Amino acid sequence: MSTIAPTARPIRPKRRLQLNASLVVGVALTIGFLVIAIVSFFWLPSNPNIPVIKDRLLPPGTAGHLLGTDVLGRDVIAQLMVGSRTSILVGAGGASIALILGTITGLAAAAYGKIADELISRGADIMLSIPGMVTALVLAATMGSGALTTILALSAFFTPSFTRVIRSAALSVLQEDFITAARLYGRGKLFILARHVLPNIAGVMIVQFTLYFAAGILTEAGLSYLGVGVTRPQISWGMMLNEAQQQVGISSPLAVWPGLAIVFVVLGLNLLGDGLRDVLDPKLKRRTA
Amino acid sequence: MTIYVLRKLAFFVGAVLVASLAIFLLIRGAGGNVAAIVLGKDATADAINALAHTYGLDRPLPVQYVDWIMNMLSGDLGQSFRTKESVADLVTDRLSVSVPLALSGLLLGLIIAIPVGTYAARNVGRPSGALLALLSQIGVAVPVFWAGILLSVLFGVRLGWLPTGGWTDWTADPVGAVRSLVLPVLSLGLIMAAVLIRYIRSAVLDVMNQDYVRTARAVGMTRTQALLQVGLRNALLPIVTIVGLQIAELIGGTVIIEMVFSLPGLSRMILANVAAREVIVVQSTVMLIIVFVIFVNFVVDLLYGILDPRIRNSA
């Protein structure tokens, strides 16, 4: 067996090199982002929510306030650090709930007959055609804005994509011979799904989670920019951009840093997702989901 | 083809019904006593009941839902509690901002993305192809509202060429209206392009590796000829689908961009009416937007069937 395996895999050195680059950069950016969020629980340059009027609107480079302060004298770095927590909480929270719901519905559609499949798939199609941003606006306004509402809205919009992807991945695994073998062996449906299907689609699930983690961060920033996302004392990068534009003006450096933070983090997660897809699932073509 | 169209039509109607139910429950379920909120704290119970009665808000929710749907079908979208303006008029006013913005944004996105995506696909493995892939990867990570802020800092504040926000009406000053739209359209279009380039690149890559392109090359066509004469029709399929799927994204982007540049479009109207608890206005306007998106997807499905006989016959 072990002597056959190496020759069975085609060697494409040029392509492998490219993949690794995106994986490496993605991992580096993502780890940096996570570390900053963790550090923010133990150490902050100053309290990001307490106004210090004598220090208001300090320019970047001021001693003690490397990126300056906002209109109320609150340190920008401290705000950015606390903002990274919100991005993780909302982005990963929304993607996690969508992953759980999408796995349940996706597996059910793949394994429990034509009627279940038709109902779940058409339901997912319908939900996919509803514009998320508009509905999130209404949801936030009727339920009240906040991190929890934003997470719920995100998971509602993300779930149908997870359902679709997991359904089709599960369908192709269910056609394999080892599934037939397990069935002949007398294994039940749930056992087969948990023991044989889930491990084989874990790669697809991880990639999907990473990409939607990034999408969640972008959407959360947008909602908070509109004023219907998280509210202080929680801090969001989108909220910081809104405050910069409303209170100081767009040409202030305050309108630069949170934007850069969003770009780096979302880019990192997207690169990580693409890189993981190529490594974990070589059969799958490189394609944006 | 008839069966295919009927199937898609049934899906369209089903999707609209499900969406309308969801919107109705979302807005009315969480809305509380609408009449009391609209009239404010000092209103007497009689006045609240009278208003509720006038607008039929005291009836059971299922009855109100059916009534709302029936009215919408007959073209009556309802009216504002306070100003008595009809929702249809309110929406029509705002469309003169939102529709040109969204359509030009999408168009600009396509105009950039189709040639750039094709070029990136033809140069896979070369530095220029890799650079374009990287640029679009970065573009996807840029929030559309930050792109708007950066562009208006550059062209509005630093260079002073264009307004950083605000709106002059088409009838009052057509040139001013266009000028107010340039930066919003540019922000929307660039971000759309970044997303579309990645899809178009992989669509073209797929087509380039097909047997029929190799055959076309074998009978003497150049790479470009083969791509244009044989490949294009096949690459159109995924591109049409992507555009359909991006419509919901486009509307989300338009909502935010209208806020960045303080344009009096649909999104500002929705936000203001949400705050004022004008439930009828909000629910009808949001429903209109959703019906539009579902309709576009319906048209895309039909186009798909027309472009590819395999799809309409297998359905």
One-letter amino acid of A92: A
Residue B156 lies in a domain: yes
Indicate which of B145, B210, B280, B301 best probes the interface with A, i.e. most A CBs within 10 Å of its own CB: B145
A132 in contact with B at a CB cutoff of 8 Å? yes
Q: Which of B153, B158, B256 sits opposite A222 (nearest CB)?
A: B256
Q: Does A132 sit within 8 Å of B248, measured CB to CB?
A: yes
Residue B163 lies in a domain: yes
Residue B300 lies in a domain: no
Phi, psi of A75 (to 5 degrees): -65, 135
Contacts with A126 from chain B: Cβ below 8 Å: 14-15, 18-19, 294
| Predicted local distance difference test score (pLDDT) of residue B32 | 60
| Predicted local distance difference test score (pLDDT) of residue A285 | 47
Phi, psi of A69 (to 5 degrees): -130, 165
Residue ranges of domains in chain A: 74-282
| Number of domains forming the structure of chain B | 1
Q: Under a CB-based contact definition with an 8 Å cutoff, are residues B187 and B151 in contact?
A: yes
| Cα separation, A203 vs A214, whole angstroms | 17
ipTM at complex level: 0.83
**Which is nearest to A265 in space by CA: B77, B146, B292?**
B146
Please, what is the Cα angle at A25 between A22 and A26, to 5 degrees? Answer: 80
Q: Does B158 sit within 8 Å of A133, measured CB to CB?
A: no
What CATH number is attached to the domain comprising B130? 1.10.3720.10
Question: Tens digit of pLDDT for each residue in B122-157?
Answer: 888 888 888 888 888 899 999 999 999 999 888 877
Question: What is the SS3 string spanning A184-252?
Answer: HCCCCHHHHHHHHHHHHHHHHHHHHHHHHHHHHHHHHHHHHHCCCCCCCCCCCHHHHHHHHHHHHCCCC
- Give yes or no for a cis peptide into A233 (omega within 30° of 0): yes
Q: Under a CB-based contact definition with an 8 Å cutoff, are residues A241 and A225 in contact?
A: yes
User: For residue B6, how many C-alpha atoms fall within 13 Å in the half-sphere facing its CB?
Assistant: 4
Residue numbers of chain A with a pLDDT score lower than 50: 1-8, 16-17, 285-289
Range of B181's domain? 94-275
Give how far the C-alpha of residue B167 lies from the chain's centroid of Cα atoms, to the nearest Å. Answer: 21
Look at B248 and A39; give whichever has higher pLDDT: A39
Question: Tens digit of pLDDT for each residue in A189-230?
Answer: 888 898 889 988 988 899 899 999 999 999 999 989 988 888
Residue B236 lies in a domain: yes
Contacts with B290 from chain A: Cβ below 8 Å: 129-131, 134-135
B262, β-bridge pairs: none
| Cα separation, B57 vs B32, whole angstroms | 11
Residue B231 lies in a domain: yes
CATH of domain A74-282: 1.10.3720.10
Question: Which residues, at least 6 apart from B37, have a Cβ–Cβ distance to it below 8 Å?
Answer: B31, B277
| Predicted local distance difference test score (pLDDT) of residue B278 | 78
- The SS3 of residue B187 is helix
Element (H, E) at B260: helix B232-260
The whole-chain average pLDDT of chain B stands at: 83
Question: Which residues, at least 6 apart from A235, have a Cβ–Cβ distance to it below 8 Å?
Answer: A48, A49, A79, A82, A83, A86
Q: CA-CA distances (angstroms) from residue A64 to A45, A69, A75, B199?
A: 8, 10, 9, 45
Look at B200 and B233; give whichever has higher pLDDT: B200
